[in-house]
Amino acid sequence: MADKIEELAGVGPKTAEKLIESGFDNYMTIAASSAGEIMEATGLGEDTANKVILSAREKLNMGFETGTEAMEKRASIGRITTGSKVLDALIGGGIETQAITEAYGAFGSGKSQIAHQLAVNVQLEKERGGLEGKVIFIDTEQTFRPERIKQMATGAGLDPDKVLENIFVARAYNSDHQMVLVEKAEEIARKENVKLIIVDSVTGAFRSEYTGRGTLANRQQKLNRHLSALQKLADINNLAIFITNQVMSNPAILFGDPTSPIGGNIIGHGSTFRLYLRKSKADKRIVKLVDAPSLPDGEGIFRVTTEGIVD
């Protein structure tokens, strides 16, 4: 049943029309927005915008809840298989909805391969580890390959053409464009059965545009807004976010692994799950779970084959 926007305090027929046209067509979207966002999109005054937001929050009974209620909400979380049982077990059964999963590693470590595999696997039936949903793929490094999707779809026993039809792809040319595409993704997610959003990679454009220590603060603030927008999408629409991240090497580290992800604490705090990928012999890849809310650190091995990600 659709939410009745005109029932909110301070909302008449014309205001309701403005809100719906601007994408604020349900209580959760309004409740999770700031007054500034609603004012910019609809032209409403600050007092009216605040009144509308407060009314939406009251309708949803947003506030504190018991741990038991929080546990019941987590029952709605879905998981997407990666194709590897080892990798799935490492992250608690697959890529979670309502969460941001980050994979970082050097070139050729398998980040984009996992992204492509997830774009296929999310379309599988729930019994096979999918969510029977569509995908939004934001490509910042020209990594998306329809041919690879078709190979993986065939390996999963799906119709390759149908799988491609269910993937919405956009090429981001700079960081501003990338952020605009996330706003567009929100529109598509409302209309289509989108269950996964992929950003490959999340830091590439920011890294090339913001160079030098003087620009670091601006870059980090912008990255923070970007990740917050992605998390909001995940929460409101109960979908999964998978982002890949670049790495840098610290020459000052003489012992141990000198590799570290780009984005610092902003990406670290913004990601729910963090996976570190490394290339091994032949088609083998080593994956390490670096951070997760309720899972122990661990390591595993998977393979990248023509058919896709396997054990």
> Encoding tokens for residue 244?
């890949």
Rounded to whole angstroms, how far apart are CA atoms 30 and 9?
Answer: 12
Q: Name which CATH class applies to 5-60.
A: mainly alpha
Q: Name which CATH class applies to 74-310.
A: alpha beta
Amino acid at 245: N
**Nearest partner of 111 among 227, 202, 178, judged by Cα:** 202
| Whole-number pLDDT of residue 1 | 54
Region of residue 61 (left: phi > 0; alpha: psi -120 to 50; beta: else): left
| Whole-number pLDDT of residue 41 | 83
Rounded to whole angstroms, how far apart are CA atoms 267 and 68?
Answer: 30
Task: Spell out the per-residue pLDDT of the chain, length 311, in tens.
Answer: 568 899 998 888 888 988 988 888 888 889 888 899 899 888 889 999 999 999 999 888 777 888 998 888 888 999 999 999 999 999 999 999 999 999 999 999 999 999 999 999 999 999 999 999 999 999 999 999 999 999 999 999 999 999 999 999 999 999 999 999 999 998 899 899 999 999 999 999 998 888 777 788 888 999 999 999 999 999 989 999 999 999 987 766 667 677 889 988 999 999 999 999 999 999 999 999 999 999 999 999 999 999 999 99
**Nearest partner of 10 among 58, 54, 43, 40, judged by Cα:** 54
Give me the residues paired with residue 49 across strands: none
Residue 110 · residue 286 · CB < 8 Å: no
| Whole-number pLDDT of residue 251 | 66
Domain spans of the chain, in order of start: 5-60, 74-310
| Whole-number pLDDT of residue 213 | 76
CA distances from 11 to 21, 35, 57, 132 (A): 14, 14, 14, 36
> Encoding tokens for residue 199?
């950003």
Rounded to whole angstroms, how far apart are CA atoms 164 and 223?
Answer: 29
Region of residue 277 (left: phi > 0; alpha: psi -120 to 50; beta: else): beta
Q: Which residues contact 309 (CB under 8 A, 6 or more apart)?
A: 82, 83, 84, 87, 110, 113, 114, 117, 302, 303
